[in-house]
Amino acid sequence: MRPAGRALRLTVFLGESDRWQHRPLSTEIVHRAHAAGLAGATVFRGVEGYGTSSVVHTARLLSLSEDLPVTVVIVDAEERVRAFLPVLAEVTAERLVTLEPVEIPQLGQPTREDGA
């Protein structure tokens, strides 16, 4: 069920090559979020970026990178996201994780134009 009202957005910044036990780390985080019953998680693949290594990774044709930036975004009620943090800490080590307050508006049900 989608939460409404005040919520918390958790963002994890990774590299595409980051792994957890031979599996993409982003996949591991999504599966752990699902197992924890969080409302949803989405993985975004960046086209260019750099992190603590200061090495710029890019998807440009002339300098294809095998380690593009990846973010995992999870939004749910604050208490549910905070309860997930110890689970996340097991796999993220020193990666950048941010928490930001967000508001989820309660929107009406979409209506169909054909009246059905």
User: 67 vs 95, which has greater pLDDT?
Assistant: 95
Structure tokens of 52?
């603590």
Span 5-104: which CATH code? 3.30.70.120
Q: Give the model's confidence band at 59: pLDDT under 50 very low, under 70 low, under 90 confident, else very high.
A: low
Give 29-46 pLDDT, tens digit per residue: 999 999 999 999 999 998
Give 89-108 pLDDT, tens digit per residue: 999 988 999 999 999 888 87
Q: Domain extents for the chain?
A: 5-104
Sheet holding 69-76, edge to edge: 41-45, 69-76, 5-15, 97-104
Residue 112 CA to residue 36 CA, distance in Å, equals 34
